[in-house]
A and B are shown apart, each in its own frame.
Chain A
Amino acid sequence: MTYSAEKSRLSKEPFVIVEEDLDECANEYGVSPCTAGIQSTGTAQAGASTTITLASGDSATDDIYNTMTVRITSGTGSGQERKITDYVGSTKVATVSVAWDTNPDNTSVYAVIDRPNACYKQYGNCQDRTNYVKTTKTFKFCTKSANAPLDQGFIPCITQHPTTTPSKIIPGKSLGTRTVVDIRMQDFPHHDRGFDPYFEDRTWYPNADQRGTFFGKFHARNKYYQSRDCRVKFGFISPDGFSEDDFVTHYYVIEEMNGPDANDMVTHRFNDVLKKTNYDRAQCPMASQGKLSADILAAAGSLTLTPAGIGNSEYPASGYVSVDSETMAFTRVADVLTLTRAQYGTTAADHTAGATVQLGYAPVAKNVIDVVYEILVDYAGIDSALIPYADWIQEKTDYLSIYNLTTIVHEPTGVSTLLNELVVECGLLIAWDEQNQEIMLKAVRSGTTASVINDGKIIKGSFSVKDKPNERLSQIWYHYDWKTPFDRSELQDFNSTNIYADAESESANKYGETRQEKIYSRWVTATGIVAEVASRRLKRYKDNPKYIETQIDIKDAVKIGDYIGIESDRNQDESGDAGLEGYQVISVKNIDKYSKQHLELMFQPFNRYGLIGPDSLPDYTSATQVQKDTYAWICDTSTLLMSNGDDPYVIQ
C-alpha cells in the first residue's frame, strides 16, 4: 500500500517516526589513526590460545592492564582484539577472556587500549580531536504503540502526537512564520546496547541500565546537535504490515533538546529549514575583513587591502565595494583593487587608512528567482538540493519574466530582512514545503484549484469565517529607483514614486476611507514591475481580506500554498446559498494524532488575466489550465459564462 491509500482507510492507526542525524566519529577508539587510550605498544614475545606475552619492557605491575583491550595491530593474528582478564607483571603474560582465532607469536605487534574509559564517539567526549572524523549516525524514535514494529531499530518512546506550530505564509507581505515541531518523549533506564559503542568494556557492564537514563546520557553525549538534519515521518501502521511507503516525510533541522524534566519527559524541538535565514550568521553580504592599507584621495584609481592575502581569501576578481559612503566598481589582482569611483549615485571622496573595504552584493539585471537562489544558497547556507529550480524557472516564465533586478546591498544585512523585502517589493510567496522537502517560490497570483472542500468533507463544528478589515488597502505608494544605496527611508531618496489607487473602494459607496501602504524599494528600478506588483497587491487587498479556519479528515489532506474551492452552508452568498469561492491555503496543522488537518485559508479574489492567444489555441473546454490562465476566450453572450459554466474573462 502507499501513504495515500493508507490515509483513505476507514479505520487506521496513526504512527509517527522521528529520525535525528547526529554526529559520530568514524574511527575506533585506540585504533589508528585514533591515538587515544593507548597504554602500551610493542612486539609480543609469544602467544598461546588464551594468552599473549607482552614485550619484555612492558609494565611490571600486576593487573595494571586488567579489563583493558589488547589489539594485534600487525604481524601474526593482526586485527584481533581481546579483553585482558589477568596480567602478571613479572612474566608479562596477559590472559584474555576468549581464545584467539589465530594465536599471536613473536611477530605480533600489539597495543593495549584503555577501552573501559573510551569515548562515546562524539566530538564533545573525543580524546583525540586531531583525528576526529565526523560521520552521521541516525537515531530513530517512534510512537509508543502496541503495534510498533520491532525490527526497524525504533525506540518506542514518543508519548503523544508531535505538537506543531505550523508555518504560515503571508503572500506578498512577508516570509511568514516558521514551522516549529515539539516531540515529547518518555525517558527510561537503558542498557546502552547499540548506543555506547564500548558498552561491553565498561567497568559497570552489564549494569548500564542502573547508571542514568537513556535521554540523560543521550543529551550529555550529543551536545552539538543544532542545525543537524531531522525528519518526522507521519503515516499509519497497515494491517498488511509495516512499510516506509505508508509514510510521508517532513524535513526539519534540530533546534533544541530539553529534559529530562521532573516527569521524566524530554522535548526535542525542530524548525523548518528556512529558520537558517534567521541565524545571526546569515548575512548578505558577509562582513568583509579587508581594510585600506593607506589613505586614498578622491581621484585615486586603486587601493591596496590589508592584511596581506585578504584579497585572495575574501574578494572576487571583480565586483563592487563600499568605503565609508562611496561605492566603487573594482577588478582585483592579489590585494590590489583597480577602481572605477563613485558608482550607484555616490560621490568620490578621500578615505583614510584603516577604513573597511566592504564587498557588496550587486546583482545586475538578474531575475528575482536567481537573486533569491543566490541569497539562500550562498549566504544562508541552504542546500541547493532543497530548491526545485526547474519549478522556479517555470514560475519565472509564466509570471515573473520581467522581474529583473539591478541594485547593490552595500553592507551586511540579515538574509531574512532581504527576503522579506523581495516578498513585498516583487509580490512573492516564499515558503517551505515540508512534504516535498523544497522551498516553494511563487508570484502572488491566481492559481489552479486543486480540490473543492464542501460540507461533506468539513469536520463538524470546525468551520469559522473572519474578515480582517485592518489588512485592507486602497492605495499603494511605491518609491523605487533609489538615488544612493545609503538612504532609502524617504520620498526624496528615490528618483521615482508611483501611486496606485482603487478609487472605487475609497468611494462613499464602498469603504469611504483611504488605506495607504508605502513601499521604499531597495530592489526595483523598472516601472513595469512596480505597476504589476501594485496591481496584484491591490486586487488581493482592496476588499476586506476574508479568512476561513476549518478542519478536514486526513484523507482529504492539502498542503500550504494550494488553491482550493470552499462550498459550505457556513459561507453563504447573498441569496443564502453555499457559494463556491476560491481560497489559498496559508497554514496547515496536523492535529488529533494526525487524524485531521486544521487549515487557515485566505480568500483569493482574482479575476483572470487574458492575453490575445495564437490561432493554434484549442477551444476553451479543450485548453490546458496553463493556457486558460494565460489567454482569454469569448464567453456565451446569453449566459455570460464559458460553455462549461466557468466564470468569463472580464476586461477592466
Chain B
Amino acid sequence: MSIISTGGSPNKTTPPAVAYSNIFESGTVTASSEATGYFKENAYDWRGDDILLFDSGTTHTLTVDYGSAVSVDVFCLAYHNLGTLGATVTIRYSTDNFAADDNVLVTLSPSDDRVIFKPMTSTLKRYWRIQIALGAAGQPYIGQALLGEMLELSHGPVDGDESVYDSHMDEIINNTAQNGNFLGRSVIYQGVEGAIPFRFMQSTYLRGDYRAFITHARNKPFFYSWRPTLYDEEAVICWTKGRVPTPKATNTLYYETVIPIEGRKS
C-alpha cells in the first residue's frame, strides 16, 4: 500500500490513518505462555470478547514467523491491561527467530489501557515479536494485536467532520425524587461512534488503497487514529456500522465517502 503525502496545511501533512492488515493472521505464531483457557489465537481474531492471558511472570512474548521478509510500519493494540501493569512494550525484529539476532524497533510504556496506534519506521524482516516486560511478576493480557502497514487517509478532516475519539455512545438513566431531588444516575458505556471520512480520493487511491481497505472493513474491525504520529494512545478499534456508503465523485478528479463506525477506546 502507499502512503499519500499531499503537503500544504497541517491537516494534510499528518492525516488520520487506519491499520487493518495483520501479519499475525498469516504467519506462524507462538506465545511464551497461555493461561488455561486463554489461547494465543485470541490475540489476533479481531474479537473483543476473548483474550490471550499469559501465565504469571515478568517477561512475555508473542512472536510471528511470516515465512519471508515482510514490511511493518505500525503496531496496534486493543483490549489490554499493559498500562495497569506498568509494562514496557518493545517491538522487535530478527532474521533468525531471535536466536542471536534480536533488534528493537520501538519501545513504549502505555500510560493506561487505551487502544494504541504506534507508527514505526518501515522495516522489512521475517521474524517479529511483541515483548512485554513487567517490573514484578504479573499476568498481562492482549485482546487484539496488530503488526502491519498503516494506510493514511486520503485527506485530513474538514469542517463538520466529527471527532470519533471524543464521542460518547452512552445510555443514561436519571432518577429524580418526588420532591425534585436528584437521586442518582446509571450510565451504560457503549464506546464511541462517528464516521471516518475518505475525501479527495484520486483514482489511484480509490482503486488501490481504498478498495483493499474496504474488502477488510466489510468483514472485520480495524484500528483508526486521528493523529497517529502525535497521539499514539488516542486511537480506537472500530467496525463499520451497517452498509458501507458508495464513494461519490466530487468533481472530475476526486471521489469521497464517509463511513459510519462504532468502536471502543479501551
Chain A interface main SS type: loop
Check B187 against A553 for contact (C-beta < 8 Å). no
A175 to chain B, nearest CB (A): 33
**Given A191-B45, A193-B50, A206-B41: A11 and B187 interface contact (C-beta under 8 Å):** yes
Say yes or no: B39 contacts A193, CB within 8 Å: yes
A455 in contact with B81 (CB, 8 Å): no
- Count contacts between A and B, CB distance < 8 Å: 104
Q: Is the CB of A10 within 8 A of B173?
A: no
A134-171 interface bits toward B, Cβ cutoff 8 Å, 1 = contact, 0 = none: 00000000010111001101111100000000000000
CB distance from B131 to the nearest CB of A (A): 20
B50–chain A nearest beta-carbon distance, Å: 7
> Could you say which residues of chain B place their CB within 8 Å of the CB of A157?
49
Q: Is B42 close to A, CB under 8 A?
A: yes
Give min CB distance, A398 to chain B, whole Å.
36
Report the bound CA distance from A456 to B81 in whole Å.
Answer: 42
Determine whether the beta carbon of A155 is less than 8 Å from that of B49.
yes
In the complex, are the beta carbons of A13 and B186 less than 8 A apart?
yes
Query: Closest CB-CB distance, B261 to chain A, in whole Å?
Result: 14
Query: Which one of A83-91, A365-373, A591-599, A600-608 is at the B interface?
Result: A591-599
Q: Contacts A459-B176, A460-B178, A596-B175 hold; do A12 and B189 have CB atoms under 8 A apart?
A: no
A264 interface hit (Cβ, 8 Å): no
Beta-carbon contacts under 8 Å, B185-236 to A: 185-191
A460 and B186 form a contact (CB under 8 A): no
| B:78-95 near A, CB below 8 Å | 79, 81, 84
B178 touches A145 (CB 8 A): no
A150→B266 CA distance, assembly (Å): 11
* Residue contact B178 to A569, C-beta cutoff 8 Å: yes
Alpha-carbon gap, A596 to B185, bound state (A):
10
Instruction: Give the residue of A13, A460, A555, A569 whose beta carbon is less than 8 angstroms from that of B187.
Output: A13
Range class of the A interface residue count: 35 or more
Contact with A along B48-88 (1 / 0, CB 8 A): 11110100000000000000000000000001010010000
Contacting residues, chain B, for A57 (C-beta < 8 A): none
Q: How far is the CA of A520 from the CA of B238 in the complex (A)?
A: 68
Tally chain B residues at the interface, Cβ within 8 Å.
39
Q: In whole angstroms, what is the CA distance A554 to B183 when docked?
A: 9
Contacts of A446 in B (CB 8 A): none
Q: Is the CB of B42 within 8 A of A193?
A: yes
Is the CB of A528 closer than 8 A to any CB of chain B? no
CA distance A191 to B187 in the complex (A): 32
Known: A191-B41, A592-B173. A12 touches B186 (CB 8 A): yes
Which A residues, 169 to 227, have Cβ-Cβ distances below 8 Å to chain B?
Answer: 191, 193-194, 206
**Contact yes or no, A594 B186, CB < 8 A:** yes
Chain A residues whose CB sits within 8 angstroms of the CB of B187 once the complex forms: 11-13
User: Cβ of B173 and Cβ of A595 under 8 Å apart?
Assistant: yes
Contact A151 B49 (CB under 8 A): no
Contact present for B49 and A156 (CB under 8 Å): yes
B179 at interface (Cβ–Cβ under 8 A)? Answer: yes
In the assembled complex, A458 has its CB within 8 A of some CB on chain B: yes
Which residues of A are found within 8 Å of B39, using beta-carbon distances?
A: 193-194
How far apart are the CA atoms of A457 and B84 in the complex, in Å?
38
A150-B189 CB under 8 A given contacts A455-B177, A457-B183: no
Closest to B35 in A: A151
B113 (CB) vs chain A CBs: closest residue: A150
B175–A595 CB distance below 8 A: yes
Interface residues of A in 464-484 (CB under 8 A from B): none
Which listed residue, A151, A459, A461, touches B53 by the CB 8 Å rule? A151
Question: What 7 A-B pairs come out closest when comparing CB atoms?
Answer: A595-B186, A146-B191, A553-B183, A455-B178, A146-B189, A458-B178, A455-B179
New A-B contacts (16) at CB < 8 Å, excluding given A150-B49, A463-B178: A10-B185, A11-B184, A12-B185, A12-B186, A146-B191, A150-B79, A151-B51, A156-B48, A193-B41, A193-B50, A457-B177, A458-B177, A459-B178, A568-B178, A595-B175, A595-B186
Q: Which residues of A contact B (CB under 8 A)?
A: 8-14, 143, 145-147, 150-151, 153-157, 191, 193-194, 206, 241, 455-461, 463, 553-555, 568-570, 592-596
For this complex, 30 residue pairs linking A to B, each with C-beta atoms less than 8 Å apart, are: A9-B184, A10-B185, A11-B184, A11-B186, A12-B184, A12-B186, A13-B186, A13-B188, A13-B189, A156-B48, A191-B45, A193-B39, A193-B41, A193-B42, A193-B50, A194-B38, A194-B39, A241-B84, A456-B177, A456-B178, A456-B181, A458-B177, A463-B178, A555-B183, A569-B178, A593-B171, A593-B188, A594-B186, A595-B175, A595-B184
